[in-house]
Amino acid sequence: MSYQKVQNFKCRCPLIRINVFGIHESHQIPNIPCDRSSNDVFLNQHLQWYHNFDSGSARKLVRAIFNNTSPHQNLFSINDPIVKRNIAVEGYKCKCPLTHDGAFGLSDEHDITNVPCGRADKEVLCFQHLQYHHNLSSRAAKKIVLAILSYTPTVTQLFHNDDFVTQSKCAVRKLKAKCPLIATHMYGKFIDLLIVNVKIPFMVFLTQNLTKQNYFLSQMYFLIKNR
């Protein structure tokens, strides 16, 4: 079976339970039973990305299935290494583990966004997903991915309430407040309309509610008024 045929071979995933083709619990293969076994997949890629097979083991299983090898045959011995070693954190794909509050010790105190995750039914690049969708810092995201790779259960407390785990640069995105820009226009001569429907002057409002966002608005105000 050529390399190209291995790459293009499609069938349903055979990993519907442990003890097929000699695969044992000690091999620590993730996502068994496979929840994607109802549809045909490109099996070689699926075994590597979803079940963490190394490339040699994935090809071995693909060729066995292509040749109609019985799943009762011990294709792998209990001591055979099957899963990847030294996996790159940035390239690891899996379903998001943040499906509930408290996963890995993350709580409301950490101010994580989008928990429970609305994309947990899809396989994602976990390291990037944790940063961009959940606002975790790269260090915290890497810690979680390494925990997943070592089969650490989500009930394990990786973080404590006083740990800083979010990206400070995303503070603007996370701020929840009524917008002070109440005018229909916010540039040029229309900047004065910002004060019309508030009970205190605009600059007093900003200084009494000092944040990074209000600092930006105050600078914008002065630039427009003095241009």
How confident is the model over 166-222, as pLDDT tens digits? 986 544 444 455 565 555 444 444 444 444 444 445 455 444 554 545 555 555 555
Helices marked H in the chain? 3-8, 43-49, 55-66, 126-132, 138-149, 171-174, 202-208, 212-225
Q: How many domains, in total, are found in the chain?
A: 3
Rounded to an integer, what distance in angstroms lies between the CA atom of residue 180 and that of residue 29?
Answer: 53
% of the chain at pLDDT higher than 90:
36
pLDDT value of residue 144: 94
What confidence category does residue 58 fall into, taking pLDDT thresholds of 50, 70 and 90?
Answer: very high
Greatest Cα-to-Cα distance within the chain, rounded to the nearest angstrom: 81
103 and 133 belong to one structural domain: yes
> Residue 84 has what pLDDT?
80
| Mean pLDDT of all residues in 78-82 | 88
Query: What's the confidence (pLDDT) of residue 189?
Result: 44
Based on the fold, state whether residues 93 and 153 are members of the same structural domain. yes
| pTM recorded for the entire structure | 0.47
Residues 102 and 141 in one domain: yes
Where a domain ends, among 173, 198, 213? 173
Same domain, 107 and 164: yes
Residue 102 lies in domain: 89-173
